[in-house]
Amino acid sequence: MRAVLAFIAVATVLPAQQQAARPWMNTALPPEQRAELVLQQLTLDEKLAFAHGNGMAHVPNWQMPLTHLANGGAGYVEGVARLGIPGLLISDAAYGVRDSGANGRYSTALPSNLGAASAWDVDSACAYGEVIGRELRAQGYDMTLGGGVNLAREPRNGRTFEYAGEDPLLAGTLVGSMMKCEQAQHVVGDIKHYALNDQETGRSGMNIVISRRAMQESDLLAFHIGISIANPGAVMCSYNRINGDYACENRYTLHDVLKTQWGYKGFVLSDWGGTHSTEKASAAGLDQEQPMAEFMGDKLKQAVEAGRVPMAEIDDHARRVLYALFASGVVDHPPQPGVVDVEKGLEVAQRIEEKSIVLLKNSASVLPIDTKRVHRIAVIGGHADVGMISGGGSAQVDPPGGNAIMPEGQGSTNWHDHVWFPTSPLKALRASLPDTAIEYNDGADPAAAARLAGSADLAIVFAYQWEAEDLDLPNLALPDGQEALIEQVAAANAHTVVVLESGTAVTMPWLGKVAAVVEAWYAGSAGHRALANVLTGTVNPSGKLALSFPATESDLPRATIAPLTPSTVHNAADISAADGSYAVPYHEGARVGYKWYETEHRRPLFAFGYGLSYTAFAYTGLQVDAAARAVTFTVKNTGKRAGAEIAEVYAAPPSGSDEPYKRLVGWKRVTLAAGESQTVTVPVDTRALQIFDEATESWSLPTGTYTVLVGAASDNTPLTAVLPLH
C-alpha cells in the first residue's frame, strides 16, 4: 500500500513540476498568454519554421526533407518538440477528409457544401463539422483546409460545390457554425479562400477590380460573419489579385481588414503555391507560405538578418500560429489515430442530405411515388445502377473500393477523374419499393431508354454535372447529351422525374416537358438512401436553394466566363496588364445573386430560397418589434403531411437608398404536423443592412423606415411590414 501511495504522490507532483518548467502548459491560462510564453523561448529558426510548410505528399514537385512527416496529407509545419509544441499535420477536408484511399484509410463524404447549405440549418452545419473533425483526428491530422465561404458570384466556378451559396448572412453563418464545431474536435480550423476567389479560370492571373464598399458589403461580410462565429485558427488567402495586389500580399484585406478592423488573432496561410514575395507578403500580413519555403524560408531569414524585415513581424507570424494551436486545443489534445466511426458518419451524412435535397418541380404531385398507382418504374442514366457522382479536385473524398464506374479492381481515383461513390439509387429504390418492378437503362441509347420509359408508370432520369478545382464549367447545361436524353424520355412518358446530381445551378431548356425535378447535389456517402426516402415520401423534402438558378447565362453579370474578351468586360483596356494579370471588373458590386436579379429586373429560373414540399404552408400575422429589432409571424401547415418549412425574412432599405435591393436578414426552420400552426420570432440581423463608408473605413446603419418581407423564397414574400430604425 505504501508503494501505491508513493506512486500516486509522484504522479501528482510530476505534472506540477512540468507546469512550473513549462508555464504555457497551464490550461487555465488564455491561449494568447500561453502563446506569448512560448514565443519568449523560441530561437529565430524555430520562429521561422512556423512561417512555411514542408512540402505535400503525393505531389512530386512539392517535396522537401520533412515531407515524409506529413502523414500523407496536404502539408506539414514543424513544431517545437523541446517545448511540447506539436507540428501541424494538414489535410484537405472540404466535404470529408481527402486522400484516404491513397493512404489506406476511410473517410465519410458528407453532402457537398452547397448541398448542405441548402438545408439552411445551423445544427446540421455543426454536425457536418463534427464528423470531419473526428475523422481528421482519427487519421492523425490536427488541421483542416475546409471552410470555403466564397460567395457564388459566378455559378460556373468549378468550386461552387465547395461553398455555401450567394448570400453573405447564410454562407457566413453556416460555414462559421460548421468550422466552430469542427475546431471544437481539437483541430485547427480554417476559412478560405480569402477573398474574391470566384472562378478557377486564370485564377492566378486574374485581378478582381471592385470597390472597397462593395467587397465589404458582400464577400468580406460573409468572411467576417463566419470568422466571428468560428474564431478559426487559420484563414487561407487566395490565388487571385484584388485591385492590383495578390490576395496573399494584399495589405488592405490582410492587415487593415482581417487583422485590424476585425481583430483576428489566428494566422494567415497561403493557398498552395499562392505566395509571390517575401518582404511584401510578410509586411502585408501573410504568416505562413504553403506548401514550400521558397519565399518564407531562407529568403525571409536573410531579410531579417539584413534588417529589411523587423523581428516584430516574425514574432507576430509565430505568435499567431501558436495562438491557433492553443485556442483549438491541439497542444492539450493531440490527435489520437484510431478507427473512424463509419456508422456515425453515414448516419449524419444521410440526415443532412435528407434536409438538403430541393424539390424544384412537382406537377400533378407525381412525387412522392404512390405505389397504388405506380407499379413499374424505369430508372435511366447517370450510372444510377452503381452510384452517384461527387465533386473533384482537392475536395475529392475517395470512395471505399475506388471509383464505382471503373471495372472491378481498377477503381482508383486521380486528379480530375469523374468519381462515383458506390451509392446506387437503383438499389436503394428497389430496397424501398420491394413490390414495385424497377428496370434500369444506362441512357447510352436514348431511343432504347425512351422505349423503356414508355412501358413504365414512372420514369426517373438521373442526370449529372461534374465540377472540380482548377477548371470551370463552360456553361450550366447538362453535358454528355443528357438534355436530349431527358427530352426523349419525357416525350415517351408524361410522368418523368429528373434527379440532378450537380455542384451548382443547372439550366433547364427541358423543364416544361418533365413532371418533376429533384436537386440532390453531390449527395455523399449515404446519398442513395436519403434520395430514396425523399422520392418515396418517407422524408418530406425541405431544402431551399442557397443560390439562384439562372434561366440562361446571359442573365448573369458576365455572360461568359472564359476566354476574357472585349465583349465580356466594360472596358477593353482592362483585359491585360504589363505584369501578365487581367482585370475582371465586378461591375455588379455587392449585388450578388438574387440582389442582381432584383435590380436588373431579371427573372431567374429558380430563385434563391426556393424549394417545394409535399405539403403546403401559409404565412399570416406579421408583427414588427422595432425596439427588439425582431419580427413575429405565424406559419401554418395547410396540407396533409408533416413537413418542415424554412421561413425567410428579408429587409429593404429606406426609399432613396443607392442600394435599394432587399437582403436576407434572418430565417427560421419550422417543423409542423399536418394542420399545425406555429408563431415564430426571427431577429433582424442588421449586419446585412449596414453601409460601409470608404472614407472613414467604418460601418453605419442608415436610419429610416425599412420594409420587412417574409415568405418562402426571395421572390415569394407575401407578408410585408415597415420597420423603423433610428
Cβ count within 10 A of residue 363: 13
Q: Are 482 and 621 in the same domain?
A: no
Q: Cell for 86?
A: 506539436
- The Cβ-side half-sphere exposure at 188, using a 13 Å CA radius, reads 33
The Cα 536–Cα 654 span in angstroms is: 46
In a domain, 128, yes or no: yes
Q: Are 417 and 277 in the same domain?
A: no
What single-letter amino acid sits at 510? W
Q: Are 221 and 117 in the same domain?
A: yes
Q: What is the pLDDT of residues 118-155, one digit of tens each?
A: 999 999 999 999 999 999 999 999 999 999 999 999 99
Instruction: Give the per-residue pLDDT at 410.
Output: 74
Q: Could you tell me how many residues make up the chain?
A: 726
In a domain, 711, yes or no: yes
Q: Select from 486, 516, 536 the last residue of a domain.
A: 536
Q: Are 429 and 484 in the same domain?
A: yes
Query: Considering Cα of 203, then 204, then 206, then 208, what sign does the dihedral take?
Result: positive
Closest to 138 in 3D by CA, of 179, 77, 110, 97: 97
DSSP state of 387: -
User: Which CATH number fits the domain that encloses residue 246?
Assistant: 3.20.20.300
Q: Are 314 and 369 in the same domain?
A: no
Is the pLDDT at 233 greater than 50, yes or no? Answer: yes
Choose the weakest-confidence range: 13-22, 201-210, 547-556. 13-22
User: Which CATH number fits the domain that encloses residue 484?
Assistant: 3.40.50.1700
Domains in the chain, number: 3
The Cα 313–Cα 300 span in angstroms is: 11
Q: Are strands 496-502 and 458-465 parallel, antiparallel or unpaired?
A: parallel
Is the pLDDT at 601 greater than 60, yes or no? Answer: yes
Q: What is the pLDDT of residues 658-691, one digit of tens each?
A: 999 999 999 999 999 999 999 999 999 999 999 9
Average pLDDT over residues 95-103: 93
Give the orientation angle of helix 298-305 with respect to helix 311-327, to 10 degrees.
130
Q: Are 378 and 299 in the same domain?
A: no
Is the pLDDT at 696 greater than 70, yes or no? Answer: yes
Q: Dihedrals φ, ψ of 639, to 5°?
A: -100, -160
Closest to 79 in 3D by CA, of 59, 100, 54, 49: 49
Q: What is the pLDDT of residues 14-40, one digit of tens each?
A: 455 556 789 999 999 999 999 999 999
Is the pLDDT at 9 greater than 90, yes or no? Answer: no
Q: Are 202 and 277 in the same domain?
A: yes
Radius of gyration of the chain (CA): 26
Q: What is the pTM of this model?
A: 0.95
C-alpha distances out from residue 383 to 41, 128, 421, 422, 423, Å: 58, 27, 10, 10, 10
Q: Select from 308, 327, 346 the last residue of a domain.
A: 327
Q: Name the residue with higher pLDDT: 398 or 412.
A: 398
Q: Are 282 and 394 in the same domain?
A: no
Range of the domain at 671: 615-725
Q: What is the mean pLDDT of the chain?
A: 94
Q: What is the pLDDT of residues 165-191, one digit of tens each?
A: 999 999 999 999 999 999 999 999 999
pLDDT band for 562, please (50, 70, 90 cuts): low
Q: Are 150 and 280 in the same domain?
A: yes
Q: Are 445 and 515 in the same domain?
A: yes
The Cα 295–Cα 190 span in angstroms is: 22
In a domain, 137, yes or no: yes
66 Cβ neighbours under 8 A, 6+ residues apart: 54, 55, 76, 78
Q: Select from 310, 327, 344 the last residue of a domain.
A: 327
Q: What is the pLDDT of residues 460-486, one digit of tens each?
A: 999 999 999 999 999 999 999 999 999
In a domain, 189, yes or no: yes
User: Which CATH number fits the domain that encloses residue 681?
Assistant: 2.60.40.10
Q: Are 298 and 378 in the same domain?
A: no
Q: Are 395 and 532 in the same domain?
A: yes
